[in-house]
Structure 1
Amino acid sequence: MFDPWFVAVAVTAVLIVGLSKSGLLGSLGVVGVPLLTLIMPAREAAGIMLPVLLAMDAIAIYAYRKQVNWHILKIMLPGAAVGMLFGWAIWAFVSDAVVLLMVGVITLLFVLDAILPIRKKLEGLPPSTPWGRFWGAFAGFTSFVSHTGGPPFQIYVLPQRLPPALYAGTSAYFFAMVNTAKLIPYFFLGQLSLHNLQLSAALAPVGMLGVLVGVFLVRRISAKHFYRIAYWLVFALALKLIWDSLNVLLN
């Protein structure tokens, strides 16, 4: 049956994720799965989102195919692989609320740290390999459990002050590789059922449209305004994640 509430929430969630995939909304795409949990179980939401994310990744990679920082990817991807394996191993034991709380707290600390003078002195320095491996692992873990790898990725990459398009391209390649790697474990965990894939196919065009619109806007936004928007969005997102997760854990 046609459910207007279901359609409205699902389309909104996927559209936000699509805009985020383009690099326009920073890590706001992390709200995709939490929004979908308003209309379905969290595990089912994660399974439905994965094929949609892969469709959006394809558009983002094509749009930014010549704009990627391979050095950052070489640092972060090995850590991401470890984080995904850990997420697979504890899939049955960790709750989404706990993961979202961790992401929210770490992201809030990141935003507060970004406004301190010491952070301004460190921006632009060559990326540290151990630091990148750590945040790559965190991004891989949270991405596997609930597709919320955006904030950990940004904690390492945003201070590099890459041009907006280069940042967006690096993010697109990173998450395309991470999401592709999640296909096999998601299949064995039963997340890619026929029902989930049917919903994914219906929502994928919405997400792809969001990516295209975001790409158009990213190329027309100055770096100064881009990072101002990104930090404010990450701050608001951190507060939302903390609030939502505590509501679940304390009730």
Structure 2
Amino acid sequence: MDSDILYYVCAAIAVIMTGLAKGGFAGVGAVSMPLLSLRGDPLAAAAILLPILIVQDAISVFSYWRNINKRIVFIMLPSMALGVYLGFLFAGSLPRNYIMAMVGVIALSFGAHSLWKKRKRKPQIAHKGHTGLGLISGVVTGFTSQIAHAGGPPFHVWVLPQKLHRDVLVGTKAICFGFLNWIKVPAFFALGQMTTQNLKTSAILLPLAIAATFFGVYLVKRVETERFYTIIYILMCLLGMKLIYEGFF
């Protein structure tokens, strides 16, 4: 198969996965960056994905805007902005693979522990979430998102124990990551990655990404809250294993 055709096939799969993730199935989009990195430049892949993520965020916000936890939003937004700035400053000097592996360990540990408690029928009491931990989570979310669009695990580690309703969880995440992806745009321009070629690739993939996001929203709204959390925990375990493998192998 021609290399360009193969690339667009893989890229199509990647944006479908991000669409399902933005629709609410967090963690499914973990394969997107590796697939879009087939041409060898992860930073360019992240730049191609960024405009797609922004449009997908807009669809998620439109679909869930009535379901938002304002406290989480107010805590996360400024701290995520600081994390993006730190990620921009250190993008070229930190060992990206080790950072991703560390995020993977966090995701796998949290997901596995949550599934274990559900299996043991241990009551999972909702916690409000300490403000200080929320600020730290926001910084780490922004940092890992700027480096490799991998902000989901640190966000979920703080938010999921609060046991929000399914729609409130998805709506709150949509607002936070919609803001997060917009503030990453200047950084990618400064890094010289918002090129005409990258934006052209984004535009080609955009219609499929939009359709996949609406389909993700459709699916999520047909899954009850408790089962939805179980799916998220499983996806976090899979994402954690994938990031650990990417980091060390």
Match of 1:141?
A: 143
Supply the AA of the counterpart residue of 1:100: M
- Please state if 1:125 is matched with 2:127: yes
Give yes or no for contact 2:115–2:234 (8 Å, CA) kept in 1: no
Give yes or no for contact 1:29–1:150 (8 Å, CA) kept in 2: no
- Please state if 1:60 is matched with 2:89: no
RMSD over aligned CA atoms reads: 1.9
Give yes or no for contact 1:42–1:96 (8 Å, CA) kept in 2: no
Match of 1:16?
A: 17
Supply the AA of the counterpart residue of 2:141: A
Q: After TM superposition, give the deviation of residue 195 of structure 1 in Å.
A: 0.6
Supply the AA of the counterpart residue of 1:114: S
Q: Which moved more, 1:121-130 or 1:71-80?
A: 121-130
Match of 1:109?
A: 109
CA displacement, residues 70-104 of structure 1 (integer Å, 9 cap, x when unaligned): 11111112221121111011111124322221211
Paired residues for 1:162-177 under 5 Å: 162-177=164-179
CA displacement, residues 147-203 of structure 1 (integer Å, 9 cap, x when unaligned): 110111111111111111111111110000000111111111111011110001111
Q: After TM superposition, give the deviation of residue 2 of structure 1 in Å.
A: 7.2
Give yes or no for contact 1:64–1:165 (8 Å, CA) kept in 2: yes
Give yes or no for contact 2:115–2:230 (8 Å, CA) kept in 1: no
Q: Distance in 2 between matches of 1:180 and 1:93?
A: 23
CA displacement, residues 90-128 of structure 1 (integer Å, 9 cap, x when unaligned): 1111243222212111111212332466xx666312121
Supply the AA of the counterpart residue of 1:98: Y
Q: Distance in 1 between matches of 2:222 and 2:123?
A: 28
Q: Distance in 2 between matches of 1:152 and 1:109?
A: 12
Supply the AA of the counterpart residue of 1:131: L
Supply the AA of the counterpart residue of 1:155: V
Paired residues for 1:55-94 under 5 Å: 55-94=55-94
CA displacement, residues 35-87 of structure 1 (integer Å, 9 cap, x when unaligned): 21234410110111111111111111111111111111111122211211110
Q: Distance in 2 between matches of 1:49 and 1:190?
A: 15
Q: Distance in 2 between matches of 1:121 and 1:214?
A: 29
Q: After TM superposition, give the deviation of residue 27 of structure 1 in Å.
A: 2.3
SS at match of 1:224: helix
Match of 1:155?
A: 157
Gaps of 5+ in 2: none
- Please state if 1:206 is matched with 2:184: no
SS at match of 1:37: helix
Match of 1:49?
A: 49
Q: Distance in 1 between matches of 2:230 and 2:124?
A: 18
- Please state if 1:6 is matched with 2:7: yes
- TM-score, with structure 2 as normaliser: 0.93
Q: Distance in 2 between matches of 1:115 and 1:215?
A: 24
SS at match of 1:3: helix
Gaps of 5+ in 1: none
Aligned structure 1 segments of 4 or more residues deviating by more than 6 angstroms: none
Give yes or no for contact 2:14–2:31 (8 Å, CA) kept in 1: yes
Match of 2:187?
A: 185
Give yes or no for contact 1:110–1:155 (8 Å, CA) kept in 2: yes
Match of 1:230?
A: 232
Q: Distance in 2 between matches of 1:28 and 1:135?
A: 21
Q: Distance in 1 between matches of 2:33 and 2:209?
A: 13
Q: Distance in 1 between matches of 2:112 and 2:223?
A: 24
SS at match of 2:38: coil
Give yes or no for contact 2:84–2:146 (8 Å, CA) kept in 1: yes
- TM-score, with structure 1 as normaliser: 0.92
